[in-house]
Amino acid sequence: MKSDETKTQPLHVAIIMDGNGRWAQKRLLPRSFGHREGVKTLIRLVTHAFDTGFKYVTVYAFSTENRLRPKEEVDGLVDLIRKNFATTFRRFIDRGIKIRILGDRKFFPSDVAQILSDAESDSKDGKNGTFNVALNYGGRAEIVRAVNEAVKRGEEVSEESIGKLLYTYGQPDPDMLIRTGGEKRLSNFLLYQTAYTELFFTDTLWPDFSDEEFDSVVDEFRHRNRRYGKVK
């Protein structure tokens, strides 16, 4: 019989990267500094996840609700994508990682939307993993979009028909979801896909989230008993 350490190798981790603004405010810095620091953590942590055996990594980078923040902060977040994401994506494309954008990119200026489209196009043949980046994404909107599309096609609304129309179609649902920053909720992230996902919450703010803490969460996951509603 296999030990708990080897019986469960998670393939898909989803991450809510919360706490950038508070990280900056604790240091008496503008919130924009925290978002920039958060990009550094994103690159490091996602790289580590792929290096340690994950095949799918999904991050919540910009929600539909984030658009309700002060205009200055929203503009700063969009500019952060403009200035950093092309080179960030290239790091992963060069190692054979496929990039997939989840969400309605029509919100973004044309130059930013082009960066996102180019990343997907340039990485379409990647075989070494998939990096999903949720941008202007909302879980409820994703479900509504899928249902409307199924109806438009004249299909019966079912789990199968909806599943085929989700942004993550063709991928396994997340095995585990990590939220940093102390809050204990999903905040409209992957509502359909996380029905049986193991949830982990940490008070650590995203810029301070270390590879070691990530590994500790993965170790805890390996010791959980996933029953999917059954008796084991």
Q: What is the pLDDT of residues 197-220, one digit of tens each?
A: 999 999 999 999 999 999 999 999
Give me the pLDDT at residue 232, please: 59
Q: How far apart are CA 44 and CA 40, in angstroms?
A: 6
The whole-chain average pLDDT of the chain stands at 93
Domains identified in the chain and CATH numbers: 9-222 (3.40.1180.10)
Instruction: Report the 10 Å Cβ neighbour count for 95.
Output: 13
pLDDT score of 231: 59
| Phi and psi torsions of 136, nearest 5° | 50, 50
Average pLDDT over residues 26-32: 94
The residues that are catalytic are: 18, 66
Phi–psi pair at 179, nearest 5 degrees: -120, 125
Given a cut of 80, whether residue 230 has pLDDT beyond it is: no
- 4-21 average pLDDT score: 84
- Tally of CA atoms within 13 A in the half-sphere of 162 that contains its CB: 15
Q: What is the C-alpha to C-alpha distance for residues 198 and 70, in angstroms, rounded to an integer?
A: 33
For the cut 50, the answer to whether the pLDDT of residue 1 exceeds it is: no
Give 33's pLDDT tier (boundaries 50, 70, 90). very high
Over residues 137-152, the pLDDT tens digits come to 999 999 999 999 999 9
Q: Return the pLDDT at 228.
A: 63
Per-residue pLDDT tens digits for 68-126: 898 999 999 999 999 999 999 999 999 999 999 999 999 999 999 999 999 999 999 99
Strand order in the sheet with 98-102: 98-102, 130-137, 56-63, 12-16, 176-179, 198-201
Q: State yes or no: pLDDT of 188 exceeds 60.
A: yes
